Structure 1
Amino acid sequence: MQNEQMYIKESQEIYDAIVVGSGVAGGWAAKELCEKGQKTLMIERGRIVEHRKDYIGENKAPWQQEYRTRVDNLLLEQQYKIQQQCYAFKDATKHFFGNDRDLPYNTPKDKPFSWIRANQLGGKSLLWHRQSYRFSDYDFAANSLDGYGNDWPVRYQDIADWYSYVEKHAGISGNADNLPQLPNSDFLPPFEMNSPEKAIKAKLEALFPKRNLIMGRAAHLTKPTELHYSQGRVQCQARNECQAGCSFGAYFSTQSSTLPAAAKTGLLHIAPDSVVHSLIYDEQKNRVVGVRVIDNNDLSQREYFAKVVFLCASTLGSTQILLNSATKTQPKGLANSSGVLGHYLMDHNYNANAGGDVEGFEDEIDRGRRPTGILVPNFYYQPDAKRKFLRGYMLGGSAYRENWQSSQYQDGIGVDFKNKLKQAGKWKFGLYAMGEMLPRFENHVALHPTLKDKWGMPQLDIHCEYSENEKLMMEDAKEQMTVMLEAVGVTNISAKTSDKPPGLAIHEVGTARMGRDPKTSVLNSFNQSHNIPNLFVTDGASFCSTAPQNPSLSFMAFTARAVDYALKEQAAGRL
């Protein structure tokens, strides 16, 4: 299908399906629907980003950028006050981030939440860090074991085949480590550890047999299959410049993988610059029949219609739409008979790190820029009443050798200092924690009663903070990282905790959780609304807990599974 035929503005057609959002979940929903013969409209609130053509920061060396990768201070203050907190934000990537000035939301002054947004075709799939891990039965059962949150209505065996299905298409590099708390994926070959990492792995696992150090599993094509080549994707070049866009298509994104597959069918249409205001609900039929949108540019209004609607607008985006779709009979938000819509907001907790010097290996230096690091999977995956906190955390990190840039923090002058710049510095090894956040009712989002955005819609009012449990978890992570680093011979260790607010992990989930009981959940085990049969929510809003793992791979698997279920239900006449 030609681009001019795929992109639309006005349409009176009744589509088979509407997908709201074009990120990881939205891209998968569109691909699955189109490949199963459904004429699908993808609605994206932001601009069109075309693969390769619109990666304007790609391949730009620091000296080719006006401020040497930094962003003009005026822009930072006026447009990117919140977005600049993201690890991926720099001059070569800033155009993929939302403009804070035009995207206001409200939080209590003493409880900040950093909402990182990427409102364009492809969404945050262009910016994610590509870490890809399955949840295990330990994760799916966690809520039921300690009583925080509702029990997931699925177990690992329900989703395992769908993990395999999406992994083969996306391409996940990693090693079969055979760990009970971190199930194996269908892997492409892993990236290689460097020599200090291999040495530390051997020492750590000998001293702490249940603390495995493994290669990070990432959505990168280390050895593409014929399926990947057919998508127009080729092998990862290990440039680690991924967030600027990858013309090789070597990491998974909507643009590189799911969008071409959907477009190839000729059944995909896309409505860009279309900000979803609310869903159109037919009370007589008890069905969602369409979507109201406001034009991103001229603020005109239009409507689109379909037989089935998939909300994939991000955890907070989908929840905002449902809250703003309230009716006289559903005044607390559409599909919210349970009253839990907007509640149980969670994010991961990255507030502890440690690192130090690695002796030896002076005759070695690593080459290339590997786009993933090492991982120590959660070793607290089984409940233990002796611990001061519930749940657990993973540890990420890497070993690296200092280069000339480290000398900017050291004293020196003259010939000796210049000669020193020619030599590599010390080897370093660092770890950081990624902790689970408990699902708590008081962590919630609602529509602000008076504040509006530029489209005239109520701003989100976000109330979210880490509890004492998460703080104790990070203190433990700091202590355990120190113990582990000392044990393997790392010296000059520095360890600390921090107080970065929720949101910065960019793994927000919850707020429209699935569950067995319609009285305590919004969705069933197939991401289908308990209240409205033809409404599905397959992004992070559907999650019952965070687990310690990155969530994106699960977004993919649950979305593909939900589409399969929806079409079977439709064929049976139940939608």
Structure 2
Amino acid sequence: MPQDSNKININSGGVQQNTYDAIVIGSGISGGKSLLWARQTQRWSKFDFEGPARDGYAVDWPIRYSDLAPWYSHVEKFAGISGNYDGLETLPDSEFLPAWEMNCVEKDIAQKINAAYKDRNVVQGRCAHLTKPNPIHIQQGRNQCQARSLCERGCPFGGYFSSNASTIPWALKTGNLTVQPESTVHSVIYDDKLNKAVGVRVINTNTPPDGRAGKQATEYFAKIIFVNAACFNTNLILLNSVSNRFPNGFGNDNGLLGKYVAFHNYRGTVSASYDGPMDKYYYGRRPTQPMMPNFRNVYKQEMDFLRGYMCFYGAGLNEEIGGAYKDALTEAGNWHVSMMMQGETIPKETNHVDLSKDKKDEWDIPQLVFDVDYDDNDIKLMNDFLTQASDMLDKAGCKNIQQHDSKQAPGLDIHEMGGVRMGKDPNTSMLNAYNQFHNCKNVFVTDGACMTSTSTQNPSLTFMALTARAANYAVEELKKGNV
């Protein structure tokens, strides 16, 4: 939110200085991860925010579901979320646009699983796609999703929610946004005399290098700073933001910066075949699939592992070409089914990131070093999924059921979270209930780095709700002169 009347341009030693009301550090490219995300959007439930306090696997969240519920609604109406009103305590409903439809085999499997288990509920997936745009989406310049499933190329219709299709153009219309592309953030600037952060140091990635120190640096100054560079880059920037006040990284009085990193575990999958109807098919490339919220350790600790997992599955016809396609049309049982896990990992101090002591990138910024691995809890959780998924597909009438453990490294999983976690106690957390640093009230973190735990639900909708809530709070505090 720039104030042009306060904007200054000073050339001093080749460093240009600019002053704004607020600076938001985004990730990578304009639009960040919203350009490439899988667009699956579920609210977290009360159990996700209460879980750490109950079983002690992480510090207690400083907020509860009721604190975030109105902000979920706020961002859902703007982004556009498709789904059904399912009325599940473990998977709260959102502000929905019409849901995508399951195909005939997915419906059969869902009905059979729901009938066989009292504690399990298969529902249609929820995703940030405009099945039926509301006026607010048309005002953004977006239109209906065409079910092309080419989202990774960028959507000319704005059919799925992204910053480039939605929030950035909306903010530009206000005249209060300056976008600074082709910039790599080096660090947050802390003023020891003022006892607060005053800006960020940025390297222009397009400046011709004159040796390693030849890249042009620019310092931008603001009253409020949001460090939202995506989880690991946020950790990197803060670890690299050293000062007399914070010699071990920004806000890092307790030594926890970069620690308690967690993510979602996708190692387990189960595949099967299904003797489904050969006279039916499905059309379009639907951007979501059926899912089942977590049913393990929900109301109490009952397993020999902590927390649980979501399940996603999909069914489709085996696709061939040429003669194989013609032969396949005469054979029954061509439907294939695949079920995957999205498992919660436990935040641990041993899962952490730090700065390399000797390796730097071309902008002279230290590279990030990862020390993250699975543990016995992850393996027990995965094995339970493999057993239960196989059992569910068997009860649904599937055949040729096969279990798979990819044994992939954590870096091939997604939804990385932690390192700058929220909490009630400054001794055990970095941020308070409004995503402010406990020890520097004008700096906020609302991306994956702020998460205290991971839940089993997809986190992106929660990131957005936390951001909207924290931004509203920051504006109110700025008006009161508290930051």
Please confirm whether the aligned pair reaches a TM-score higher than 0.5, indicating the same fold: yes
Do the aligned residues in 2 keep the contact of 1:395 with 1:434 (CA within 8 Å)?
yes
After superposition, give the CA deviation of every residue in 1:528-552 in whole Å (9 maximum; x if it has no partner): 1111111011101000000001110
1:106-255 residue pairs with structure 2 within 5 A?
119-255=28-164
Aligned mates of 1:257, 1:417 — CA distance in 2: 44
Gaps of 5+ in 1: 1-7, 23-118, 408-415
Deviates more, 1:542-551 or 1:319-328: 319-328
Aligned mates of 2:125, 2:32 — CA distance in 1: 23
Q: Name the SS of the counterpart of 2:259 in structure 1.
A: coil
Counterpart in 2 of 1:269? 178
2:239 corresponds to 1:323: yes
Do the aligned residues in 2 keep the contact of 1:383 with 1:390 (CA within 8 Å)?
no
Q: Name the SS of the counterpart of 1:404 in structure 2.
A: coil
Amino acid at match of 1:394: M
Aligned mates of 1:297, 1:266 — CA distance in 2: 26
1:340-379 residue pairs with structure 2 within 5 A?
340-379=256-295
Q: 468, 489, 513: which is aligned to 2:376?
A: 468
Q: Name the SS of the counterpart of 2:412 in structure 1.
A: coil
Give the drift of 1:185: 0.4
Aligned mates of 2:329, 2:392 — CA distance in 1: 33
Amino acid at match of 1:148: Y
Give the drift of 1:146: 1.2
Aligned mates of 1:565, 1:517 — CA distance in 2: 20
After superposition, give the CA deviation of every residue in 1:507-545 in whole Å (9 maximum; x if it has no partner): 000000011111111100100111111101110100000
Q: Name the SS of the counterpart of 1:562 in structure 2.
A: helix
Counterpart in 2 of 1:15? 20
CA, structure 1 residues 417+484, in 2 after alignment: closer, same or farther (shift >3 Å)?
Answer: closer
Give the drift of 1:506: 2.2
Give the drift of 1:297: 2.5
Amino acid at match of 2:462: S
Give the drift of 1:386: 4.1
Amino acid at match of 1:528: Q
Q: Name the SS of the counterpart of 1:305 in structure 2.
A: strand
Q: Name the SS of the counterpart of 1:345 in structure 2.
A: strand
Q: 425, 438, 458: which is aligned to 1:517?
A: 425
After superposition, give the CA deviation of every residue in 1:326-379 in whole Å (9 maximum; x if it has no partner): 123322111111211100001100011112111131110111111111101111
Amino acid at match of 1:176: Y
Counterpart in 1 of 2:309? 393
What percentage of residue pairs aligned between the two structures are identical?
48
Aligned mates of 2:375, 2:88 — CA distance in 1: 29
Q: Name the SS of the counterpart of 2:452 in structure 1.
A: coil
Deviates more, 1:375-384 or 1:533-542: 375-384
Q: 403, 420, 437: which is aligned to 2:327?
A: 420
Aligned mates of 1:284, 1:389 — CA distance in 2: 49
CA, structure 1 residues 294+429, in 2 after alignment: closer, same or farther (shift >3 Å)?
Answer: same
Do the aligned residues in 2 keep the contact of 1:279 with 1:322 (CA within 8 Å)?
yes
Do the aligned residues in 2 keep the contact of 1:221 with 1:251 (CA within 8 Å)?
yes
Counterpart in 2 of 1:90? none
Do the aligned residues in 2 keep the contact of 1:173 with 1:188 (CA within 8 Å)?
yes
CA, structure 1 residues 328+134, in 2 after alignment: closer, same or farther (shift >3 Å)?
Answer: same
Aligned mates of 1:512, 1:555 — CA distance in 2: 14
Aligned mates of 2:342, 2:409 — CA distance in 1: 14
Counterpart in 2 of 1:380? 296
Q: 472, 479, 483: which is aligned to 2:387?
A: 479
Do the aligned residues in 2 keep the contact of 1:339 with 1:520 (CA within 8 Å)?
no
Aligned mates of 1:534, 1:387 — CA distance in 2: 42
Higher normalized strand content (fraction of residues)? 2
Do the aligned residues in 1 keep the contact of 2:328 with 2:334 (CA within 8 Å)?
no
Gaps of 5+ in 2: 1-8, 208-214
Q: Name the SS of the counterpart of 1:557 in structure 2.
A: helix
Aligned mates of 1:418, 1:155 — CA distance in 2: 53
CA, structure 1 residues 447+202, in 2 after alignment: closer, same or farther (shift >3 Å)?
Answer: same
Q: 430, 446, 454: which is aligned to 1:538?
A: 446
Amino acid at match of 2:38: H
Aligned mates of 2:389, 2:378 — CA distance in 1: 16
Give the drift of 1:429: 1.6
Aligned mates of 1:422, 1:547 — CA distance in 2: 43
Counterpart in 2 of 1:505? 413
Do the aligned residues in 1 keep the contact of 2:297 with 2:303 (CA within 8 Å)?
no
- TM-score, normalised to structure 1, is 0.78
CA, structure 1 residues 358+326, in 2 after alignment: closer, same or farther (shift >3 Å)?
Answer: same
Counterpart in 2 of 1:412? none
Give the drift of 1:419: 3.5
1:394-413 residue pairs with structure 2 within 5 A?
394-404=310-320
**Cα RMSD (Å) of the superposition?**
1.7
Q: Name the SS of the counterpart of 1:206 in structure 2.
A: helix
Do the aligned residues in 2 keep the contact of 1:345 with 1:444 (CA within 8 Å)?
yes
Deviates more, 1:492-501 or 1:261-270: 492-501
Do the aligned residues in 2 keep the contact of 1:181 with 1:381 (CA within 8 Å)?
no
Q: 462, 466, 469: which is aligned to 1:561?
A: 469
Give the drift of 1:287: 1.3
Do the aligned residues in 1 keep the contact of 2:82 with 2:127 (CA within 8 Å)?
yes
Do the aligned residues in 1 keep the contact of 2:17 with 2:218 (CA within 8 Å)?
no
Give the drift of 1:209: 2.1
Aligned mates of 1:515, 1:134 — CA distance in 2: 20
Q: 426, 430, 435: which is aligned to 1:527?
A: 435
Amino acid at match of 1:444: H
Counterpart in 2 of 1:292? 201
After superposition, give the CA deviation of every residue in 1:172-192 in whole Å (9 maximum; x if it has no partner): 000111111111000001000
Do the aligned residues in 2 keep the contact of 1:404 with 1:422 (CA within 8 Å)?
no
